[in-house]
Amino acid sequence: GAVVSQHPSRVICKSGTSVKIECRSLDFQATTMFWYRQFPKKSLMLMATSNEGSKATYEQGVEKDKFLINHASLTLSTLTVTSAHPEDSSFYICSVTTGGTEAFFGQGTRLTVV
């Protein structure tokens, strides 16, 4: 299966600053990656679909200007949380699919905005 690596695993930032989270597919060229957000004791919620070389597709209710996604290569997608606020504190997870039925997830990034 695909190996998906996220960085950083934890980040604390001040309110109003921006934070970039990287998602790398280490052994698979991924034309599509997915970004999820997970609040404590809640389900993973899809935020957006990252498409290599084109604009991301955002789910309803997700602000595209706040959550900037860049998928510049087949192995890297980045999620930038701009002007972060405490309510953006959450667990962010990316995933990659390999064309079959399997989805592989990164280890997640715990964002805390203070």
Partner 1 sequence: KNQVEQSPQSLIILEGKNCTLQCNYTVSPFSNLRWYKQDTGRGPVSLTIMTFSENTKSNGRYTATLDADTKQSSLHITASQLSDSASYICVVSPFSGGYNKLIFGAGTRLAVHP
Note the residues at the interface with partner 1 (CB under 8 A). Answer: 1, 4, 6, 9, 32, 34, 41-46, 49, 57, 91, 93, 95, 97, 101-108, 110
Nearer to partner 1, 16 or 64 (CB): 64
> Using the 8-state DSSP alphabet, how is residue 1 labeled?
-
Spatial separation of the C-alpha atoms in residues 84 and 78, rounded to whole Å: 16
CB of 22 to partner 1, least distance (A): 14
- Please classify residue 95 by burial: count the beta carbons closer than 10 Å to its beta carbon, then call 0-12 exposed, 13-18 middle and 19+ buried: buried
3-state SS assignment for residue 103: strand
CB of 83 to partner 1, least distance (A): 25
Parallel/antiparallel/unpaired status of strands 19-25 and 32-38:
unpaired
CB of 43 to partner 1, least distance (A): 4
CB of 13 to partner 1, least distance (A): 18
Nearer to partner 1, 23 or 81 (CB): 23
Phi, psi of 59 (to 5 degrees): -75, 160
- Cα radius of gyration (the chain): 13
Nearer to partner 1, 16 or 81 (CB): 81
Nearer to partner 1, 64 or 83 (CB): 64
